[in-house]
Structure 1
């Protein structure tokens, strides 16, 4: 099931509502964040959403991410729900979401789980990585190995196709004796291993990057300390002052629009409910 243009616009409007609530609490508690990935690209190139996009991503350094996990579940407006493993027991993504209550945006990958399926924004932790190249590579490889096992057990295997489905089936065999909770906790531990060294490392990384070696989402620590408010739709949100270099690293010539056949929404849906 794909979104209609009308529904995609409604989803975008609700996501901006969620992001506004996120920004409100970040201001209140002096938490730094930056719009990320396609959301950052949309802010720079379109002053809002990439027209065909249907999600919002934000990056937060791990120390602030832990602060968010502690504070936001208690302080979000009643219209919203902070989704992590502790607040939604059948949720096992190694990053968190903020959902809008009384909506449904149910993805095929998660349709086999009894969780809050509301419209959401993604909140990604950005982790300290060792300055030593060997140690940082070992951290990345180990994390990716664990994450493959976690996702093979968690994501609805019926929603996968072709080689990805075969790979997931093989991974389930490899990790058959590893409980999903154990894999989740180990991922969290490996990713946050150097959080206490945040002020002494040169670079940080989105360990949940889809890049083959993580280099596209490896950043200078200062990219997350020097921020500015930028227009996004009819509001303003924080973005790294080094957004240009971050986007070049991830997308190359990011001001160039992709071919028309690549201008598609990302999420395959089972159910959607946007009107109360």
Structure 2
């Protein structure tokens, strides 16, 4: 990993507007799209990015991230390809490529070098790569039986929750919370980074590739969202910021399940975003 891109001196950076950051995200998305087209991998716009494409033909005006999804098989292939073929101005961030990465429910981000994106509510970590990014989420087919799915997701959720809670541990703890955090510490000790990743790969083997249903991967939090594969595939194309990207075929059913009346704009107080700082490296003047 290029340490120059993830060890920051604030005086070397200048503010970046939200709109400029959005255009950087589109550039990242284009490069991912090219790789997927080249290697016949399927991806799809997800969550708020999908709403943006449908409702605005681009970003939701206040949105400051891009989300896409891939079925596990394509996701795993993409990771191997991206290690070799991503352009040099981009960085593939996973728990394997960045030892300091600690955004535990997001297994993969593609970061833009020489930028900085710090999030609200997250403990600052200047050792990992903090560039402007897009999120890539794996999706898994479901196991044959619902009770197996519940066990699988309870195991993965509690491991992820333990890591996240220790990352965001408050300075002062009540006696009750000290006991809870002792449990989190025990879980993290039992599942250090490599063992955690290996255990998640084991849980993925419980899935049935022939299942008609899919959901966010076992290495994410969101087990409550389960979708019909037939609502996704074959994929359609939607306009996003003047370009066209892949999206679920029946995006209406998926967005309705996620958000209800997704075409109605939320109230201003509900329009939240992630960033507290967005910056780019200053261009050095040639004398």
TM-score, normalising length: structure 1? 0.84
Are the structure 2 counterparts of residues 182 and 79 from structure 1 closer, same or farther at C-alpha, using a change threshold of 3 Å? closer
1:132 maps to which residue? 145
1:33 maps to which residue? 43
User: Does structure 2 retain, via aligned residues, the 8 Å contact 1:33–1:224?
Assistant: no
- What CA distance in whole angstroms lies between the structure 1 residues aligned with 2:22 and 2:206? 35
2:115 maps to which residue? 103
User: Larger Cα Rg: Structure 1 or Structure 2?
Assistant: 2
Deviations 1:151-187 (A, max 9, x none): 224x34369999xx98984653453633531563155
Are the structure 2 counterparts of residues 77 and 136 from structure 1 closer, same or farther at C-alpha, using a change threshold of 3 Å? same
2:7 aligned with 1:7:
no
Offset at 1:100?
0.6
2:76 aligned with 1:71:
no
- What CA distance in whole angstroms lies between the structure 2 residues aligned with 1:218 and 1:127? 10
TM-score, normalising length: structure 2? 0.81
Deviations 1:79-121 (A, max 9, x none): 1111112211222435100011111113362522511111100
2:91 aligned with 1:81:
yes
Name stretches of at least 5 consecutive residues in structure 2 with no aligned partner: 1-14
2:134 aligned with 1:121:
yes
Deviations 1:110-144 (A, max 9, x none): 52251111110000000121131111111121211
2:258 maps to which residue? 250
- What CA distance in whole angstroms lies between the structure 1 residues aligned with 2:78 and 2:269? 38
Secondary structure, counterpart of 1:177 in structure 2 = helix
Are the structure 2 counterparts of residues 187 and 234 from structure 1 closer, same or farther at C-alpha, using a change threshold of 3 Å? farther
- Which of 24, 32, 37 in structure 2 is aligned with 1:22? 32
- What CA distance in whole angstroms lies between the structure 2 residues aligned with 1:257 and 1:57? 19
2:285 aligned with 1:272:
no
Are the structure 2 counterparts of residues 107 and 138 from structure 1 closer, same or farther at C-alpha, using a change threshold of 3 Å? same
CA RMSD of aligned residues (A): 2.9
Bigger fraction of residues in helix: 1
User: Does structure 1 retain, via aligned residues, the 8 Å contact 2:232–2:251?
Assistant: no
